[in-house]
């Protein structure tokens, strides 16, 4: 029987449910399980309702289960909101200091523990009640104390002795109801959010400077790189706004430093003028755009895949760009490094299009990918003859040199220009426009050599769905259950026409599955001559469950 569990832990903002959820995930990971954590929180510093939903399974599911096997409630609101989603044999472990046991009766098997009282009696602070709840859960599912202690020592950096004292007391007061089986030795994997993986991928590809102004859900890239600045040898700078962010990054790239910026849709809107500057000046830059529910401020802590059309067309004038949309942390790790290298290889903007759930959810990641990532050298001036920054070449890529280079005048300009970078408004400017368009042609050929499209499920099926970003996780599960094919576009611009044609071979009916209101990927497919027979759309800010997709597909297919 497949071992597949869902654990939901929730409470008010500030109670630490997210950290507690991560420690629970680490316990299951220690037993050999693959992990996926969905994070749900309101845009409040205190109060409101936050929860983490941990899926621990033998295989690599990357979507939420419809029913939870365990509900860990720090407050009564968590109990009231989520008890209806508990499985038939589900178990509730609750904070009896805040929840009356009568509220649990008739719902499921409930175990109450005064976790706040335990923390206080042991000399701890209120947030350490989480430690008691984790320990109680570990006892209930049969995890040995030695394993729990080992994970605590690894994950808790402050007051570990006091936390262990609290955990031990809660563990002793709890009862063992079942035994969660080990499914193998601890895997050689990492547990990373998409943002953490993105940061690591950039660092491995030679990131020198990262610029950002805090904006959910991209902020944790800034935080992660700043926290590890000395380890990574990458500089981190927080200017006063997004306009400063992108222009400082362009200046750094002009000087030869591999630079990247991170933001969300509203911040990217402020960067668009500088995006065109990067296109005209052919300055390499990686822009991470992590989508959240819009328009405008929208729902800052919830997800919609609503910025695809925006990033594909942002900026005025014709200039090439890459748009890459990973669907999990493992892909973030691989494709963020690739994106930084592509920006410098082609001297053009690259937009890494994440979404809130890719950015902030936690995934099992194969550690071996790190060793495969490395910086690639751009095309540099050979120091022969006069240096032409915008030298017209067959593939559209001109050799780079940087300020301080002997015997070279280094220019970058927002004006149309000649090969030296001198402003030019004569009829000869057509040659420079054509040079940039040739670069796009070279990029199109490159994309076809890269893993731009992933195919899952029954690869011989004549029915298929297309899903991108976080949606691919639930879509894979639905496709496998129905015996059909799932196609995930990852590199979207330039569009990988040949790879998509191969993926669609034999397909007679195609459905696009997206979390936006207009079917933006479906429009991209249709613009590239691909007929889409139906759309499954969700736009309440929450991701799909596999069951939702499966039920709607039955009607469409």
Q: Is 186 within the bounds of a domain?
A: no
Whether residues 24 and 152 share a domain: the answer is yes
Q: Is 306 within the bounds of a domain?
A: yes
pLDDT of residue 186: 66
Whether residues 304 and 341 share a domain: the answer is yes
From first to last of the 557 residues of the chain, give the pLDDT tens digit. Answer: 569 999 999 998 888 899 999 999 999 999 999 999 999 998 877 778 999 999 999 888 899 999 999 999 999 999 999 999 999 999 999 999 999 888 887 666 889 999 999 999 999 999 999 999 999 999 999 999 999 999 999 999 899 999 999 999 999 999 898 888 888 776 678 999 999 999 999 999 999 999 999 999 999 999 999 999 999 989 999 999 999 999 999 999 999 999 999 999 999 999 999 999 999 999 999 999 999 999 999 999 999 999 999 999 999 999 999 999 999 999 999 999 999 999 999 999 999 999 999 999 999 999 999 999 999 999 999 999 999 999 999 999 999 999 999 999 999 999 999 999 999 999 889 999 999 999 999 999 999 999 999 999 999 999 999 999 999 999 999 999 999 999 999 999 999 999 999 999 999 999 999 999 999 999 999 999 999 999 999 999 999 999 999 999 988 88
φ and ψ at residue 131, rounded to 5 degrees: -60, -40
Report the largest interatomic distance among the alpha carbons of the chain, rounded to a whole angstrom.
85
CA–CA gap between residue 414 and residue 431 (Å, rounded): 16
Q: Is 185 within the bounds of a domain?
A: no
- The pTM of the whole model exceeds 0.75: yes
Question: Which of the 8 DSSP states describes residue 417?
Answer: B
Q: Is 179 within the bounds of a domain?
A: no
Q: Is 163 within the bounds of a domain?
A: yes
Among 403, 418, 450, which residue terminates a domain?
450
Among 122, 141, 173, which residue terminates a domain?
173
Whether residues 114 and 215 share a domain: the answer is no
Whether residues 95 and 142 share a domain: the answer is yes
Whether residues 485 and 365 share a domain: the answer is no
pLDDT of residue 14: 82
Burial of 215 (0-12, 13-18, 19+ CB in 10 A): buried
Among residues 365, 454, 457, which one has the least CA distance to residue 35? 365
Whether residues 308 and 366 share a domain: the answer is yes
| CA–CA–CA angle 538, 36, 329 (5° rounding) | 85
Q: Provide the H-helix boundaries in 290-355.
A: 308-313, 329-346
Query: Which structure tokens are listed for 112?
Result: 């109450």
Question: What is the domain count for the chain?
Answer: 4
Q: Is 180 within the bounds of a domain?
A: no
Whether residues 468 and 526 share a domain: the answer is yes
pLDDT of residue 294: 94
Question: Which of the 8 DSSP states describes residue 299?
Answer: B
Q: Provide the H-helix boundaries in 110-218.
A: 115-121, 129-140, 145-155, 160-173, 194-204
CA–CA gap between residue 359 and residue 24 (Å, rounded): 20
Matching residue, tokens 């719902």: 107
Range of the domain at 457: 453-556
Q: Is 363 within the bounds of a domain?
A: yes
CATH value at residue 60: 3.40.920.10
Query: Which structure tokens are listed for 269?
Result: 């809107």
CB-based contacts of 342, cutoff 8 Å, min separation 6 = 322, 350, 443, 446
Among residues 34, 30, 39, which one has the least CA distance to residue 10? 39
Whether residues 111 and 243 share a domain: the answer is no
Whether residues 430 and 488 share a domain: the answer is no
Q: Is 183 within the bounds of a domain?
A: no
Among 304, 338, 372, which residue terminates a domain?
372
Whether residues 205 and 283 share a domain: the answer is yes
Whether residues 318 and 386 share a domain: the answer is no
Whether residues 131 and 225 share a domain: the answer is no
CATH value at residue 528: 3.40.50.920
């Amino acid at each position: 029987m497949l071992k597949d569990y869902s654990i939901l832990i929730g409470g008010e903002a500030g109670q630490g449910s997210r950290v507690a959820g991560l420690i629970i995930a680490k316990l299951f990971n220690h037993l050999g399980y693959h992990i996926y954590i969905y994070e749900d929180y309101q845009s409040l510093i205190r109060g409101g309702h936050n929860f983490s939903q941990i899926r621990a399974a033998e295989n690599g599911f990357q979507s939420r289960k419809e029913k939870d096997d365990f509900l860990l409630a720090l407050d009564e609101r968590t109990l009231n909101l989520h008890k209806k989603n508990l499985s038939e044999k589900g178990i509730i472990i609750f904070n009896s200091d805040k929840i009356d046991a009568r509220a649990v009766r008739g719902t499921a098997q409930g175990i109450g523990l005064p976790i706040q009282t335990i923390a206080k009696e042991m000399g701890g602070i209120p947030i350490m009640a989480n430690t008691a709840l984790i320990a109680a859960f570990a006892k209930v599912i049969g995890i040995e104390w030695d394993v729990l202690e080992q994970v605590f020592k690894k994950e808790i950096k402050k007051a570990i002795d006091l936390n262990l004292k609290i955990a031990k007391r809660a563990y002793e007061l709890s009862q063992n109801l079942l035994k969660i089986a080990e499914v193998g030795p601890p895997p050689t994997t990492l547990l990373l959010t998409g943002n953490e993986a993105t940061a690591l991928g950039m660092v491995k590809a030679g990131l020198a400077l990262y610029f950002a102004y805090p904006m959910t859900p991209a902020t944790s890239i800034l935080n992660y790189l700043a926290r590890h600045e000395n380890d990574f040898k990458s500089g981190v700078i927080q200017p006063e706004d997004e306009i400063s962010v992108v222009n400082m990054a362009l200046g750094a790239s002009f000087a030869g430093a591999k630079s990247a910026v991170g933001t969300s849709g509203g911040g990217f809107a402020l960067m668009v003028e500088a995006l065109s500057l990067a296109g005209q000046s052919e300055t390499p830059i990686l822009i991470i755009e992590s989508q959240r529910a819009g328009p405008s401020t929208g729902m800052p802590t919830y997800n919609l895949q609503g910025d695809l059309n925006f990033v594909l067309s942002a900026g005025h004038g014709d200039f090439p760009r890459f748009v890459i949309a990973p669907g999990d942390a493992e892909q973030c790790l691989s494709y963020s490094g690739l994106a930084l290298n592509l920006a410098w290889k082609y001297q053009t903007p690259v937009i890494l299009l994440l979404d809130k759930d890719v950015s902030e959810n936690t995934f099992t990641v194969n550690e071996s990918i790190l060793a495969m990532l490395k910086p690639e050298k751009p095309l540099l001036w050979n120091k022969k003859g006069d240096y032409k920054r915008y030298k017209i070449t067959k593939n559209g890529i001109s050799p780079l040199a940087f300020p301080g280079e002997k015997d070279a005048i280094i220019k970058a300009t927002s004006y149309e220009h000649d090969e030296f970078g001198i402003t030019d408004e004569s009829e000869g400017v057509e040659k420079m426009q054509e040079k940039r368009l040739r670069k796009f042609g070279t990029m199109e050929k490159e994309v076809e050599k890269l893993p731009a499209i992933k195919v899952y499920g029954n690869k011989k099926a004549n029915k298929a769905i297309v899903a991108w970003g976080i949606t691919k996780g639930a879509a894979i599960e639905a496709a496998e259950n129905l015996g059909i094919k799932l196609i995930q576009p990852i590199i979207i611009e330039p569009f990988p026409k040949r790879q998509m044609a191969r993926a669609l071979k034999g397909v007679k009916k195609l459905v696009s599955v997206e979390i936006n209101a207009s079917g933006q990927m479906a429009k991209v497919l249709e613009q590239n001559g691909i007929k889409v027979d139906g759309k499954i759309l969700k736009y309440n800010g929450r991701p799909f469950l596999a069951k939702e997709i499966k039920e709607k597909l039955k009607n469409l297919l």
